[in-house]
Amino acid sequence: MIRTRLAAVLAAAFLALLPTTARAADYPDPLPLTGQEIIHDPTVTHLKNGQYVAYSTGGIIGARLSTDMKHWDDAGNAFATPPSWWYEYNSTGDPWAPDLSFRDGRYWLYYAVSSWGTNHSAIGVATSKSGMPGTWTDQGKVFTSDTTDTWNAIDPGVIKADGRLWMAFGSYWTGIRMVELNPKTGKAVPGATVRHLATRPDAPYAVEGPYIVKHGHHYYLFASYDGCCAGVNSTYKIRVGRSTSITGPYVDSAGTPMLEGGGDLLLAGHGKYFGTGGQSVFRDKGQDWLAYHYYDGDDNGTPKLGLNKLSWSHDGWPTVK
């Protein structure tokens, strides 16, 4: 036992002496960006007008615009003022973790309102013909949770599958959940079953921020594991599992269910890039991209936009480049 502990100590000491680039070798750096890079929980889309937009936690759903996906400008907020019902969930009308999609001739912006450390939460939705900041009309609540529930209605991720509309969501509590939405209203089907997609084996069940995409014959569930929002002390990382059914079960490449703590590690902190997470996926000109935030170790842990190409292995698993 003493020799085992000594070996572990020596191994840790050796790793600590390695240069940062050696420890970071398994993960690629994000695309170099300029302009306004500060962001948290980004959702990115190439709009019909040719511009790229990134919405995020912060402000009244903060917005960034780009013409080339490399230089980003501050574009204000999705809303001029918070809808009044947001104040039911926090005193500042502060929204979190938006999700942007296009369906039936208009853009749909889902988002969450809550208070830190509670599951008295709600997911709302707004619509816009252009998707541009300042053009959104709020449509109200989509789905809610309260302190008597075993899930947390934040971090929405919406996907259309087999002619039906679904929303994955969840943060801590019992992990990642899913409900069916009415495609006409964009809101939860009344009495919809709350399905369970992923969790951790022990409290505090640190998994959140689900995002689901389809590739080939599988649906892929991306989620953020461990601790967010602590600058360079953040331990966020992105894991992924897949299923042939939108409702699961999702498993990793070893066959471990995500309901039992499974999930292949896709991207973790490395070099100056701490706490990679809050992810979403978007497709542009035939290329899939992973969008996320990281905390910049060279800039006092400021949260910034990370963009990496998302590729797929011969056996259908995602990799970042």
Distance CA 242, CA 252 (A): 6
pLDDT of residue 240: 98
Distance CA 311, CA 287 (A): 8
- Model confidence band, residue 25 (pLDDT cutoffs 50, 70, 90): low
Q: How many CB atoms lie within 10 A of CB 320?
A: 18
| Cβ burial 36-45 (10 Å sphere, 16+ → b, else e) | bbbbbbbbbb
Which candidate, 181, 318, 202, places its Cα nearest to that of 253? 318
Please determine, for residue 157, whether its predicted confidence score (pLDDT) is greater than 80: yes
Catalytic residue set = 41, 208
Per-residue model confidence as pLDDT tens digits over 192-242: 999 999 999 999 999 999 999 999 999 999 999 999 999 999 999 999 999
Asked if residues 181 and 163 have their Cβ atoms less than 8 Å apart, the reply is no
- Model confidence band, residue 11 (pLDDT cutoffs 50, 70, 90): very low
Task: Quote the tokens at residue 319.
Answer: 């990799």
Give first-to-last CA distance, the chain, whole Å: 41
pLDDT of residue 199: 98
Per-residue model confidence as pLDDT tens digits over 264-305: 999 999 999 999 999 999 999 999 999 999 999 999 999 999
Task: Quote the tokens at residue 7.
Answer: 């070996």
What does pLDDT average to over the chain? 92
Strand order in the sheet with 95-103: 95-103, 106-113, 121-128, 137-145
| Cβ burial 113-129 (10 Å sphere, 16+ → b, else e) | bbeeeebbbbbbbbbbe
Residue by residue, DSSP assigns 291-309 as EEEEEETTTTTEEEEEEEE
Per-residue model confidence as pLDDT tens digits over 72-131: 999 999 999 999 999 999 999 999 999 999 999 999 999 999 999 999 999 999 999 999
Which candidate, 238, 182, 189, places its Cα nearest to that of 210? 238
Asked if residues 260 and 280 have their Cβ atoms less than 8 Å apart, the reply is no
- Model confidence band, residue 26 (pLDDT cutoffs 50, 70, 90): confident
Please determine, for residue 24, whether its predicted confidence score (pLDDT) is greater than 50: no
Domains of the chain in start order, with CATH, are 28-320 (2.115.10.20)
